[in-house]
A and B are shown apart, each in its own frame.
Chain A
C-alpha cells in the first residue's frame, strides 16, 4: 500500500511538472465525458418519463385511414367497437392543429367534455366549461403573453377571428405534456374547426383486461378494415425508439464526442514525448524495475482519467438535471417555435454510469501504459538517446 502511495506521489509530481499539458488533457477529456454522459442522461430521463406517463394513455387509439391518409371517424364506429366483448369504454376524441401566423407557432387544439374536474393540480385557474373559454399550455401563454382572464384571438375555419377567455394556464411542470395545448369544450372545438356532427378525430378505447388489448385491436381491424388501432404498448415503443441514444441528432453529438475521445486515446497510445522517454530512461538507470515504471504510468493514467471522469460526470449531471440541458436542447430543438423547458425528473441509471466509466477510463489507462511498457523494456541508454 505504502509502495503504491509513493509511486502515486511520484506520478502526480511528474504530472505537476507538465502542468499545462496535463490540465489540457483533463479539460478535453472531462468535456468529452460530459457530452457523452449528457446524451445518455437526457435520453434515459426522457425515455423513463415517457414510459411512466404514457402508461396512463388510452389502451387503444382507433384512427380511420382512407387512401393512406388520416380521416375523421364517424361516431357509429364507436358503437361498433363498444359492442365488442372486453371493451370498457369508447370515447371520441376531437383535436387538431392550428398554425398561428402571428407567432409562427403550431398549437394543438383539443376538445374536452364538460364532465371533467374543473380544478387540477397542474393548472393555474380552471378548465374551460363554457363556449369562448380555453385553457392554454405554458408555451402558448409565453408566446402570446397571456395571463389568466386575458383574451386569446384565433382564426377559425371560416376565417373569422374568435376571442377566447383564458380560464386556465397549465403550469410549467406540465410543459412536457401540455406546452402547446389550447383546450376548449368539445362543442366549441367542433364549431371552430367546422367538424361535421357525429364525427371525431379518433377514438380512445379503454379495455377491461390489458392482456386482451392486442386481441381487441385485431377484432377492430377485422370489423372495421379501414381503421388503424394503435395500442398503448406501440405508443410506448415509439418513445423508446425516439429517445434511444442512437437516434438522429443525438447520435451525431454522441459520435462526435466518441471520435474526440478516440483521437485523445490514440494520441496517447501512439507514443511518448521525448521528455517522458528520458524520464523512463533515467528511472531505469537509477534502478527502477519495468514493473515499477508500468505501475507509475498506470497511476498517472488513473489520476488523469479518474479526475476527468468525475469532473465530466458532475458537469453532465448539473447540465442535464439542474440547468435543463440547454446545450443539447438547442441541438434537438429543430424547428419547434414552442419548445418546452426540460424540467426532468432525475432518473439515473447506475448501470449506464458504470458502463461509461469502464468504456472511458480503461482505454485511456491502457493507452498510457502500453507505450511506456515499450520504452521500459528497452535499454535505458538507448531510450535516453532517442
Chain B
C-alpha cells in the first residue's frame, strides 16, 4: 500500500480532526475518497477528501468513532509519521460539463461536509448552497470557507436559547427550485429522511446523488 507522510494533524474538537498528508501522484477529483490505514493496523477505512483537488496535499476530516480502530489510530499521527493511503476511489463528483450552469444544493451531516468543502475549494465559481446538520455550534468547522449566504448550519442541540433545528426541519420549511442538483452526504438516516422530503417537494431521483457514511 502506498506509504506517505503526514504533514499536519489539526484538532477541531475532542473527537474531530483534520489530517493532512502528502499528495499521492494519482489524478484526483473533488468528491473522491481514499482508503487510509497504518502498517500496524492491518485494516483500513475510506474517507472523503476535504481539501481542494488542486492542493499539493490531501486533507481528511475525521471523527473518532467509539471503538473505531482506524479513526482513533489516525488521530494519534503527527507530522512526519507514515500513513498508508490508496486511491482515489469513487464517483461522488460534479460532472465537469455541468459545473458552470448548474445550481447545487449540498446537504451534509457532521463530517459528511468533507466532499462539499472540497467541491467549493476546487470550483470557486460554483453556484451552491450548503445545509449542514450538526449537534452543537462548535461543530460548524471551517464555516468561513463558504460565503455566509450560502452556508446554513442546522444545529440540533444549540447551547443558546435558540430552538434546535435539524436538516430535515430546514428542508420542510423552505422551498427549492426542482431543477437544482441535490447532493447528500453523511449519516444514512439523515439521507433517507431528506430524500423523502425532497420527493414531496417534486425532486426526481435523477437529480439526487448520495454518499452514505457508515
- Answer whether A and B are interacting partners: no
**Which positions in A face B, CB cutoff 8 Å?**
none
